[in-house]
Structure 1
Amino acid sequence: MAYEARRAADRVDTGRAHSARVYDFILGGKDHYQVDIEAGAAMCAEWPALPVHMRANRAFMHRAARYLAREEGVRQFLDIGTGLPTSPNLHEIVQAERPDAGVVYVDNDPIVLAHAEALLTSAPEGRTAYADADMRDPGTIIGSPAFRDILDLGEPVGLMVIGMLHFVLPPEDHPVLRRLLAPLPPGSFLAATIGTADFAPQEVGRVAREYERRGMPMALRTRAQAAAFFDGLDLVEPGLCQVHRWRPEPGRPLDDDRDIAMYGAVARIP
């Protein structure tokens, strides 16, 4: 992994902003470049609530993963679009509930691969692996050694697609997701978040245009369009909602709906 990390670092394009590094900058991380700072600052100028929105998206991932491990007994996860390793990572969340849980992390950003060793610090009873692959090429993910070595397709899998679907444009979006779901056995789960402009259309629209201007086009979905990603699956209560409203932590004040531009849901494969 150390050799692969060095090769990955050599591939990093420091002249062009990348969504994972912009996300890292806005959330106060340290793994980004000047071009990402400029992009993130411009986006926050368009919509000052962007950091609130991004924190809510990551908090949804934590709650959804914890729910699947604790209440549904899921012991293996496929995390698409992992992003930069910011603790707690998915394996830390699920292995706190089930120490023997296995996690396959997937991303195609060289800087994520360069930091992937931080994602492989599994509990002794569990396992983690990293696949350097693009979500738009599900065959590479499904055929990867990480997928084959970690995931037992005789048992349920938790497929996590957090903060990714708005970067997969139609007509690719639904076929890509269905291809990722196809090998998973009944009783598996999809946890996904989908970007929307339903609650702050002008501000979020400006952010989307800024992303596109910097080479990161996105598709923002209405509630009906977001719901279509879960067609044929059984939604877990409370169904599809803004991410901060999905099983919020008791006693914690809710963010303003206008500050959250992401739908989220967890659904079971029947």
Structure 2
Amino acid sequence: MLVAIATSTFLFAISLLFIGCSNPALAGVTTHYNSSSSQGLLPNLNNSCNSNCACPENYYRPVCGSDGITYSSACHAGCTDVWRDGMTDLNELRLSTNDTIYIGCSCIATTDEWNTTNWLIEGGIATLGSCDWTCDKLIPLVLIVLVISVFVSMRPNPAIMLMLRCVESSDRALAVAFGGVVGRVLGFFPAPIYFGATISSTCLIHQESCSRGGACLVYDLERYRYSFIGLFVGLKLLAVVLSMCTYCSINPDRFEKNKEKAVSMKALAEGQ
């Protein structure tokens, strides 16, 4: 049963590698400036279009350009000014009056809608906040995780029963205690370290504080999925291998001896 549970969990975990969405378009990070083609890039927020802006490195206050691409900040989008009353009619731009609107953005491609307005400043426009981005893979992800959780919840009982039947009656308490210690030393304690290191390796933009790296501002979602789920799948494969080793190492005669011993003790108890 333990081998079947481990194998089923491993097979379902593999499918998680193929459930995910691509990275949203972030200029200089996941897509080129003035281009909608998403490509893997090293984070390079500076470009010729914003070379005169002296934008700070690793500064992240995203704005959504009129070209549908998110920029790390209005500075990185090459914006030179903020919309003020009297410049134009906001209804012509189909924007809410609650939005902060940056204008004269040299890194943003000018749209036809932008050309129809009587603006004197060249360049595109941007609004505060990231562009809309959706991912419709939540339902299949939740269903597969639910199935994996069901299999994992079935594991403790047969594992405990196997442990108790593989040792002498006088050693059962020690076996349970030793198994708990080993499980925590090899599992619970180091897991946050290597899982955390795996997650940190997928960060694209780090927050800087006092010249030191801080929290991650932007993750590479595709690399995140493959790294995190890949590690999870690898651990499940290890569980399958160890379960098979346990199965092959069990001596059937040991169970027969324990069974005969239990029968003789029962008969002795009934005789008394």
Q: Which has the larger radius of gyration?
A: 2
Using the size of structure 1 for normalisation, the TM-score is 0.23
Give the TM-score, by structure 2 length. 0.23
